[in-house]
Structure 1
């Protein structure tokens, strides 16, 4: 039962707040209506029906003293003007064997009980045949004595008025609650949108905390956290950029000196070491910059990937074109890192573009030896390299997959490593549409 209630309960704070307010109102109105109909309306209706039943009983007794059509007509003339009760004799007829039930069963029960207490003869009644009258028939020796009583005499119309105002009050309270709760939940939705945009590296616009005290505090804390994160990223970038700049100068001098020296085997080894150091510095700087450069825009993913595949000379497969919100330079860098990773450690890299109604998938497959499933999380960490044949004697600092993962996370997605259909490794960038 608890699982069922959890499934049917609203998921949003707006829906839950509305349920908290509206549900007690509805329950209260139902209780009030039940008490009213049982303690007031039913009592009033019973008193009215007893009065009509008494009039029918008196009219039946007066008719029994002179059981003629003329006497029935005289009773009709007497009762119709002041008592809203019409009398007619139907000679040689019998009572009907069936009748329709009224929607308000309490009315039928009250009339049936009142007539049973007031009349000894067999009777029949119908509260649904006529819109403004109730048909009551009493069996007499000469046939059937038929009475038409005004509905107002046996039914309290104030009950409908009460129900009308009860429903109207419920609707008004509901509308007021909807407007109020929507205004209260709006700051929370704006905070969630701002946090989501910041998580994707997008501009949060002119977001300002407002609303309830708790929501404002959460918004202010988010803005302070955003400032700290941006300051940390800027400091990291400046630090490694400075290190890179300071080291490039002596590296350039060493390369110049080596280029002017006599060509020997040890000098060639030193040149390769310098090139590797320069590549490492570039990789460090790329990682320090992260994926925060550039603004998000509408990108034709199929065109971007096809250009990369053409430049790299590798196959590209897709079902149909698609456009997504992304930072083109950063997305290009992520895909190139995956392609470069496949070239270093495997063979025959290929790019595949797929999408569903909710996500876009960019697959980079190779035909290498793959990565064991228990080590795939490790290789996504910065500066991580596997100690097996896949990475032996290969240049690099272990940042390619880490940068690709950061870029995927910047776009609200993720980087997954899995087995490729071609037998090697499949690196997938999953992005939301």
Structure 2
């Protein structure tokens, strides 16, 4: 027994957690995902509840009371008429009673002697109204009755079985039916709809300001800098817009200052290297035995200087980035053709695979994307003999693939090769793939390594369409 209770205690929290998660998932599926939809739902549900409560209070209390009173008045009039007909059985008295009661009560009464009632009850059509009338007739009249709501247009025919025949009472339906019910429902629904549309208009303007702010932030993050956004909407949204504009200006100033400083660093570093190259070039190469002995050393020093310049250029490119370039529309096939032509000039086997669709294009900084493609294919050229470039369009993005037939990259190293200086262990500066990743991330995309169809590695680049 103790074991069962313990297991039950352990099971209860899990069941409660599962039920809670199921409710959360159900609510997420039912509720709208957009801010505008949720704001409209927040405004619409209380409005609908208020109108429903008002309708229930009016229809459920006032209208039902009025309906019962009208039905009771009709049943009482018919009951008194039957009592008088029974008390005064002569034909003259009966005729006078029917005419007088009909004139005073606004009814048409006819006594059909010798007939019998074929149906009883009511052909139910209106709900509580005819139910109230049938119930009151049953309580007030001791003979069988039938209420016909369909025989005459806008009239109600009440038939009562008496010992001498059938008493027919014709009354206008408005004597029993509370006509303004549909009018009240239409007014309640129309006013709710009108208020909902007005609220939706105001909420849409607020959400539009948030969408513009989000769009401006997305474009700024992708490097597609736009003009400062105009603050609009609620006070909190205006403050967020002003804060975004200030942040944008600070980032732009920082990038401009960094670019200026790096340009100065590049100049300061290249100047002494250029002087060294000139000094080594002017060093006497003949006339002295010692000079001839120094020729190999001079060549090595010139090679070191070239390598230093290449390294400095790589470091500066990595630090500087390509943020100052203006984005434009670029055909993917044009990028491929330039890269393939450059590879073929150095003797590499390269070709363009599929480009689907053929006129596939992307929006970005052309020089930066060329640098990405050149860095990737140059890295592949050092490890493979055949390179293939292909691209295709996804739902909201463009996929670019660079495949090779090299030895590939182990799965454990597919992320680390994009780190700075990681690939430099096998020659080079180790910044090519790091620069490529930074540029792709700046475009709002992703770059990664995976197994390729040619047996080597595949570089998979994903960019926004």
TM-score clears 0.5: yes
Match of 2:462 in 1: 430
Render the CA deviation track for 1:27-49: whole Å, top value 9, x for unaligned: 11111111111221111111011
Question: Which residue of structure 1 lines up, in the alignment, with residue 117 of structure 2?
Answer: 94
Offset of residue 278 of structure 1? 1.3
Shift of the 349–134 alpha-carbon distance from structure 1 to 2, 3 Å rule, reads same
Matching of residues 208-223 of structure 1 within 5 Å: 208-223=230-245
Aligned to 1:196: 218
- How far residue 234 of structure 1 moved from its aligned partner, in angstroms, is 2.5
**5+ residue gaps in structure 1?**
none
Distance 2:39 2:234 in 1: 14
Contact kept in structure 1, 2:375 and 2:433, CA below 8 Å: yes
**Structure 1 residue 194 displacement after superposition:** 1.0
Q: Aligned with 2:462: secondary structure?
A: strand
Equivalent-residue separation in structure 1 for 2:121 and 2:297 (angstroms): 117
| Distance change >3 Å, CA 153–CA 373, structure 1 → 2 | same
Label 1:75 to 1:425 Cα distance change in 2 as closer, same or farther (>3 A): farther
TM-aligned CA deviation for residue 219 of structure 1: 1.8
Matched, 1:308 2:331: no
Q: Name the SS of the counterpart of 2:414 in structure 1.
A: helix
* Helix, strand or coil at the partner of 1:10: coil
Return the alpha-carbon distance in structure 1 between the equivalents of residues 151 and 372 of structure 2: 80
Q: Is 1:2 matched up with 2:24? A: yes
Aligned to 1:327: 365
Q: Give the deviation of 1:89 after TM superposition.
A: 4.8
Q: CA distance change for structure 1 residues 239 and 110 in 2, over 3 Å: closer, same or farther?
A: same
- Offset from partner CA, 1:244-280 (integer Å, 9 cap, x none): 2112122222223334444743333322222221111
Deviation of 1:419 after TM superposition, in Å, equals 1.9
- Displacement of 1:237 in angstroms is 2.4
Question: What is the CA–CA distance in structure 2 between the aligned matches of 1:45 and 1:247, rounded to whole Å?
Answer: 99
Whether 1:299 aligns to 2:330 is: yes
Q: Is the 8 A contact 1:72 1:87 kept in 2?
A: no
State which drifts further: 69-78 or 174-183.
69-78
Partner of 2:417: 379
Q: Is the 8 A contact 1:76 1:85 kept in 2?
A: no
The two structures have a TM-score, normalised by structure 1, of: 0.88
Cα distance, 1:362–1:70 mapped onto 2, change above 3 Å: farther
Distance 1:124 1:99 in 2: 5
Q: Contact 2:116–2:165 (CA<8 Å) still a contact in 1?
A: yes
CA contact under 8 A between 1:296 and 1:326: conserved in structure 2? yes
**397, 402, 408: which one pairs with 2:440?**
408
Match of 1:366 in 2: 404
Q: Which residue of 1 aligns with 2:355?
A: 318
Whole-angstrom distance in 1 between the partners of 2:455 and 2:228: 49
**Are 1:31 and 2:53 matched, yes or no?**
yes
Report if the CA contact (8 A) 1:92-1:143 is conserved.
Answer: yes
Range 5-14 or range 91-100, more displaced: 91-100
Shift of 1:64: 5.0
2:229 is matched with 207
What is the aligned partner in structure 2 of residue 162 from structure 1? Answer: 184
- C-alpha distance in 2 between matches for 1:72 and 1:332: 110
User: 2:449 — aligned with what?
Assistant: 417
SS state at 1:315 partner = strand
Aligned length: 426
Q: Between 77-86 and 347-356, report the one with greater CA deviation.
A: 77-86
- Alpha-carbon distance in 1 for matches of 2:135, 2:332: 80
CA distance in 1, matches of 2:457, 2:150: 78
Is 1:251 aligned to residue 283 of structure 2? no
> 1:63, CA displacement in angstroms?
4.8
Corresponding residue SS for 2:423: coil
SS at match of 2:382: helix
- Once the two structures are overlaid, the 10-residue window that deviates more, 262-271 or 7-16, is 262-271
The answer to whether structure 1 residue 357 and structure 2 residue 379 are counterparts is: no
Deviations 1:126-178 (A, max 9, x none): 43555512232223345543332211111222333322322222122212211
- Report the CA distance shift for 1:96/1:324 in structure 2 as closer, same or farther (over 3 A): farther
